[in-house]
Amino acid sequence: MYILGISAFYHDSSACLLKDGEIIAAAQEERFTRKKHDAGFPAHSIEYCLKAARIKASQIDNIVFYEKPFVKFERLIETYLAFAPKGFKSFSKAMPLWIKDKLFQKSTLVKELGVVLGDKTNWSKRLFFSEHHLSHAASAFYPSPFDSAAILTLDGVGEWTTTSLAIGQGKDLKVIKEITFPHSIGLLYSAFTYYAGFKVNSGEYKLMGLAPYGNPCYANIIKEKLITIAEDGSFQLDMSYFDYATGLTMTNKKFDALFGGPPRTAESSITQREMDLAASVQKVIEEIIVLLAKSIARETGQKNLCLAGGVALNCVANGVLLRERIFDNIWVQPAAGDAGGALGAAFATWHLHHQNERRVSSERDAMHGAYLGPDFSDAEIKSELDICGAVYEKLPESLLIEKVVSALSSGKAVGWMQGRMEFGPRALGGRSIVADPRSSKMQKQLNLKVKYRESFRPFAPSVLSEYVGEWFEHNSDSPYMLFVANVREEKCKTPTKAEEALFGIDKLNVPRSSVPAITHVDYSARIQTVHADTNPVYHALISKFKEKTGCPMIVNTSFNVRGEPIVCTPTDAFNCFMGTDLDILAVGNFFLAKEEQPESLKVNYKNRYQLD
């Protein structure tokens, strides 16, 4: 049986295909359209899934949408009525769109499916609708390595729910507790993202990365004025400070007055206020999550915890939760945001609707390392590179790895595209930019000359799983880069008094360990453990780097520039390579050096990538 899951029409549209309960393929639409966070119908993702499975459209048994649009519309109406007459301007703008398109999403879906899959089949008879938080919970539990677990979902908002607790046992899963809109820690975090001058639904990573530069001096104000937190972690926001329920912005003038002025203007200088606000809301979010986890452990008696929803991508909070040792094991869905809803909707249909038994993976989990996207043959890579006019060498894998390691150890930045593309927001060695973590200049260099983004943004280490405990205060797997841990004390450097006295972004230039490129200002790192069974080529690369340098890790950041999605195809990879200061590109068995590319191409690509 084939089940196609779809997430669309809000942000991060995606599609996923299951065959008899096993994940065959999954991808986000943005990777194909090159439109970041693409919310459109995932036509390209669906086409890819069918191609990967080598099936015809008629072989799809069920198609499942990740939420219930009519219930979402109900929430919108009831919210506006509850806050009336406030928000009429927002209401008048939203209603025509809902009435024209979103209220009748079933007919829209059927129409779009007819275009992509062919209109000879009555797709409406095969189309199901899941619930938003059920889809999230299912995406976290069913691929996990646990036979039973508590599932905590934290996000902005689904239909009504913003926070939910579910219990998974075998094939069964049931949501048992909920917190509903407008009370949401996801939206609280997004409100501070907006106030700090970053874009909501994409800038939350920036806020998390900025937090270690600040002091949590506003944490008590947040808890006194903005949110009431109960002993069990449940919470309630004071909506008089927020406009997201009915307005066109996240915060209002009362919020501005509380924190000393209007929101930061995008692209303006980041001040100590933004750093302190980021540190403060991060601390409050961590406190709430720990309280929720403790109450869940007490109430359910479960030893395992699964996490999903956009807030579950806050790897700093995940690291805090792991260190609290409230649960024996924690597993986070790598596509924890709305893209993963497609996966969860398909799983919920397979196990809950069709009542199929669950097979718990004998390996770490059932996500196949999250390598679920397209891959390309040597012939396909060569064809695309030739069309681009690229100059390349085709090498045996072992020689390609040797040349890449030589480039890394000499301080060069490498675009690395190998095998299947990752599903979820993290690059995990399939579509990565890699570099030497021992370089004290690499973080700033990659941010400003390759990624074209804020210099404070941290980079992650990809570390051989067998060495993680030697370098970090972390002794478990983190294959999806979803846990932050401290660099071990013996690997750290003691700052001078002058360095300790630095403020804010000035802290960036202080080397804090023997691997400064991946050590954040608070001596932490966002760890990816690399395993030979899920990504043998990437594991071989890092192993060869260790053999040459003694260091069992490399810098890993996503293969893209600011404002663009992670690369998907060889053409995407070449475009990014030529439009940035990357030195080397390794695509499959093809090795490209920037210095060997035609001068005419270098001129054409010079101004391709600019700051937003």
pLDDT for 104 beyond 80: no
- b/e map 576-599, b = 16+ CB within 10 Å: bbbbbebbbbbbbbbbbebeebee
What pLDDT digit, counting tens, does each position of 471-494 carry? Answer: 999 989 999 999 999 999 999 998
| CB-facing half-sphere around the CA of 572: CA atoms within 13 A | 24
Contact between residue 388 and residue 167 where contact means Cβ atoms under 8 Å apart: no
**Where does the pLDDT of residue 97 fall: very low under 50, low under 70, confident under 90, or very high at 90 and above?**
low
**Where does the pLDDT of residue 450 fall: very low under 50, low under 70, confident under 90, or very high at 90 and above?**
confident
CA-CA distance, 431 to 573, in Å (whole number)?
8
What pLDDT digit, counting tens, does each position of 336-366 carry? Answer: 999 999 999 999 999 999 999 999 976 789 9
CA-CA distance, 491 to 496, in Å (whole number)?
16
- The predicted pLDDT at position 72 comes to 67
- The predicted pLDDT at position 611 comes to 37
- The predicted pLDDT at position 448 comes to 76
Neighbours of 356 (CB within 10 A): 15
In the chain the domains, ranked by start, together with CATH numbers, are: 2-144+337-370 (3.30.420.40), 180-331 (3.30.420.40), 378-605 (3.90.870.20)
**Where does the pLDDT of residue 80 fall: very low under 50, low under 70, confident under 90, or very high at 90 and above?**
low
Contact between residue 566 and residue 421 where contact means Cβ atoms under 8 Å apart: yes
Where are any strands of DSSP class E within 93-221? 127-129, 148-154, 161-169, 172-180
Higher model confidence: residue 458 or residue 516? 516
**Where does the pLDDT of residue 385 fall: very low under 50, low under 70, confident under 90, or very high at 90 and above?**
very high
**Where does the pLDDT of residue 73 fall: very low under 50, low under 70, confident under 90, or very high at 90 and above?**
low
Name the DSSP letter for residue 567: P
Higher model confidence: residue 381 or residue 450? 381
Neighbours of 285 (CB within 10 A): 25
pLDDT for 81 beyond 90: no
**Where does the pLDDT of residue 159 fall: very low under 50, low under 70, confident under 90, or very high at 90 and above?**
confident
**Where does the pLDDT of residue 452 fall: very low under 50, low under 70, confident under 90, or very high at 90 and above?**
confident
Mean pLDDT of the chain: 92
What pLDDT digit, counting tens, does each position of 113-124 carry? Answer: 999 999 888 999
- The predicted pLDDT at position 19 comes to 98
As a whole number, mean pLDDT of residues 552-556 equals 98
Higher model confidence: residue 511 or residue 577? 577
pLDDT for 298 beyond 80: yes
- The predicted pLDDT at position 267 comes to 86
Q: Phi and psi dihedrals of 92, rounded to 5?
A: -65, -25
What pLDDT digit, counting tens, does each position of 308-347 carry? Answer: 999 999 999 999 999 999 999 999 999 999 999 999 999 9
Q: What percentage of the chain has pLDDT greater than the value 90?
A: 79
- The predicted pLDDT at position 612 comes to 34
- The predicted pLDDT at position 132 comes to 95
pLDDT for 70 beyond 60: yes
